[in-house]
Amino acid sequence: MSLTAADLSILLVEPSAMQLKLIMRHLQQEGISKIDGVSNGEEALSHIAQYPPDLVISAMYLPDMTADELISGVQAIDSNIAFMLISSETGQAALEPIRQAGVMAILPKPFDSSDLRRAIRATLDVIDPSEIELESYDVSELNILLVDDSFTSRNHLSRVLASMGIHNIDLAENGREAVSLLGRHSYDLVVTDLNMPEMDGHELTRYIRDEMGDVVLPILMATTENNQTRLGNVQQAGVSAILDKPFEPQTIREMLFRVLDA
């Protein structure tokens, strides 16, 4: 039987008592009753160590740490706990580490109920596996190369793919490591970040298309990049699809249909 919002356990980390009550009320309206609230990062980490929730929802700026520091602490305790940010922060530099960390969603303050509902659905999609069915492939035999310099992002992407029944996943921290793996193994799909040290996703795409001469291998790029000129150059290099971080599992599911069953 599929999980519903009522099955979720949530830890809400919010220094403002008023905001804490407001967000709790929104969650309760979505049918969620298993909600605990704390006001700072240390309280959150202590709680998580004893009672791991399915999802942590946090503000950006806590009295003792920022959300990206909290994410690192949560990952160290249990890398399977999902994370959502609710913040009025709009600065790209501040949000970049959060996007790269593989969060379920980044919601503004104030947020629409529909956005919260979608983010909850995304969380359920990950923790309640539903195998993807493809016409051209046996999902259990798919071989994926996942390339990302962020450990948390690699972990999140791996978990999303695993929730769809894809378990044969090789990991690389940059394009150079990916090239080495491509020389030794055959893959059905490459999922890569764009901005990485040593060899980025653009250079990796060009290597696959030009140096290897492989114009068929699907390449899915998951990135926080919003420079349209740069993204245009990446598309020209031959990526099959571009996925914005953070993304919903349903979005990557649809893209897999598109690039693998094309």
Q: What is the pLDDT of residues 144-198, one digit of tens each?
A: 999 999 888 898 899 899 989 999 999 999 999 999 999 999 999 999 999 999 9
Assign 42 to helix, strand or coil: helix
CB proximity list for 46: less than 8 A, separation 6 or greater: none
Q: Is the per-residue pLDDT at 18 higher than 90?
A: yes
Residue 226 pLDDT level (bands cut at 50, 70, 90): confident
Summary mean pLDDT of the chain = 93
Residues 83-122 have pLDDT tens digits of: 999 999 999 889 988 988 888 899 999 999 999 999 999 8
Containing H/E element for 119? Answer: helix 113-127
pLDDT of residue 262: 65
Q: Is the per-residue pLDDT at 35 higher than 90?
A: yes
256's tokens: 């897999």
236's tokens: 């020209």
Q: Which of 36-40, 98-102, 130-134 has the highest mean pLDDT?
A: 36-40
Closest C-alpha to 169, from 194, 136, 201, 140: 140
Question: Residue 136: exposed, middle, or buried by beta-carbon count in 10 A (0-12, 13-18, 19+)?
Answer: exposed
Global confidence as pTM: 0.78
pLDDT of residue 125: 86
Mean per-residue pLDDT for 245-251?
Answer: 87
Where do the domains of the chain lie, and which CATH numbers do they carry? 5-127 (3.40.50.2300), 139-260 (3.40.50.2300)
Please tell me the chain's helix, strand, coil percentages from 3-state DSSP, rounded to the nearest 5: 45, 20, 35
Query: 246 versus 46: which is more confidently predicted?
Result: 46
Closest C-alpha to 75, from 4, 67, 127, 96: 67
pLDDT of residue 47: 97
Residue 55 pLDDT level (bands cut at 50, 70, 90): very high
50's tokens: 């004893």
pLDDT of residue 79: 86
Mean per-residue pLDDT for 14-40?
Answer: 97
